[in-house]
C-alpha cells in the first residue's frame, strides 16, 4: 500500500525575506508536521542582515542574498529575483517579511503571495511595516486588527485578498503586544492560504479571489 504522504504533490515555492524569517520557520514547521504541501526550493533575502536565511537549511533549500542597491531599477531587481525563482522551479513566490517593491512579471501574475499584519485596506501600503502597522492601528483606535494574505501586484499590499483573520485590539495594547497577537493569527492564515493554493482551490477574477 502506498503512503498518502508519498503521493501528495508538494507545490514548489520560493520564500523571500528581509528579516528574521519567522514566517519561513512557521512554514517549515507545518511542512515537517505534514500539514502543508509545499516544497521550499529557494530562499532569497534582500539584505545580508536577514537572519532568517538560517531557516533555508532546515528546508533543504539554497539561499541567495540579492540587494536592491546592486541593481539600477526596481524592474532590474525584480527580474533577477524572478529569474532565480524560475530557475529553482518555484510555482509560487511567498513574501514572508519582504520589504522591497517587486515588479511581478506576467508569468508570475497571481503566483506571488504576501502576508500583511493588518486588515487590508487599513494600515497598509508604503511605510506600513513592522511595528508602524500596529502603532497606527492602536493610535486610530480600531477594535479589530488582524492579518491579510493577498496576491501581490505592483503596489505595496494591494493585490487581491485571499484570506483574512481578525484579532481584537485590547485597551492598553502596545505595538509589541498587538504584533504578537497578530503574528499568532498569521501563523494560521498563511499556511491555510498556501494549502488552498497547493490544492488548486484558489482562482482569481479581477480583484476577487474564489476558494472552491
The residues that touch ligand GRF, with contacts defined as CB under 6 A, are: 19-23, 52, 97, 115-117, 183, 186
CB hemisphere CA count around 49 (13 angstroms): 4
Residue 85 or 107: the one with the smaller Cβ distance to ligand GRF is 85
Closest approach of Cβ 25 to ligand GRF, in Å? 8
Closest approach of Cβ 19 to ligand GRF, in Å? 2
Residue 66 or 210: the one with the smaller Cβ distance to ligand GRF is 66
d(CA 18, CA 46): 5
Closest approach of Cβ 35 to ligand GRF, in Å? 20
DSSP-assigned letter for residue 102? -
Clarify whether 64 is annotated catalytic. no
User: How far lies 69's CA from each of 47, 66, 74, 201, in Å?
Assistant: 10, 9, 10, 38
d(CA 74, CA 66): 12
Residue 3 DSSP SS3: coil
Closest approach of Cβ 210 to ligand GRF, in Å? 24
| Tally of CB atoms within 10 A around 11 | 18
Residue 52 or 159: the one with the smaller Cβ distance to ligand GRF is 52
Residue 22 or 64: the one with the smaller Cβ distance to ligand GRF is 22
Closest approach of Cβ 110 to ligand GRF, in Å? 19
- Dihedral angle sign, alpha carbons of residues 84, 195, 31, 167: positive
DSSP H helical ranges for the chain: 4-7, 22-32, 54-58, 74-87, 131-140, 175-198
Residue 14 DSSP SS3: strand
**Catalytic pick among 116, 134, 150, 158:** 116
Residue 77 or 123: the one with the smaller Cβ distance to ligand GRF is 123
Amino acid at each position: 500500500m502506498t503512503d498518502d504522504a508519498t503521493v501528495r504533490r508538494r507545490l514548489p515555492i520560493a520564500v523571500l525575506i528581509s528579516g528574521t524569517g519567522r514566517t519561513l520557520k512557521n512554514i517549515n514547521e507545518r511542512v515537517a508536521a505534514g500539514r502543508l504541501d509545499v516544497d521550499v526550493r529557494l530562499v532569497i533575502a534582500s539584505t545580508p542582515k536577514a537572519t532568517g536565511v538560517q531557516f533555508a537549511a532546515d528546508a533543504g533549500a539554497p539561499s541567495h542574498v540579492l540587494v536592491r542597491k546592486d541593481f539600477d531599477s526596481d524592474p532590474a531587481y525584480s527580474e533577477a529575483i524572478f529569474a532565480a525563482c524560475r530557475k529553482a522551479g518555484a510555482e509560487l513566490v511567498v513574501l514572508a517579511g519582504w520589504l522591497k517593491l517587486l515588479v511581478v512579471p506576467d508569468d508570475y501574475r497571481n503566483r506571488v503571495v504576501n502576508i500583511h499584519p493588518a486588515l487590508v485596506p487599513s494600515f497598509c501600503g508604503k511605510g506600513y511595516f513592522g511595528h508602524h502597522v500596529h502603532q497606527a492601528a492602536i493610535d486610530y483606535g480600531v477594535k479589530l486588527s488582524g492579518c491579510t494574505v493577498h496576491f501581490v501586484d505592483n503596489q505595496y499590499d494591494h493585490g487581491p485578498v485571499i484570506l483574512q483573520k481578525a484579532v481584537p485590539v485590547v485597551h492598553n495594547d502596545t505595538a509589541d503586544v498587538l504584533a504578537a497577537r497578530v503574528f499568532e493569527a498569521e501563523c494560521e492564515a498563511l499556511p491555510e492560504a498556501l494549502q488552498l493554493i497547493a490544492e488548486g482551490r484558489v482562482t482569481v477574477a479581477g480583484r476577487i479571489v474564489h476558494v472552491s
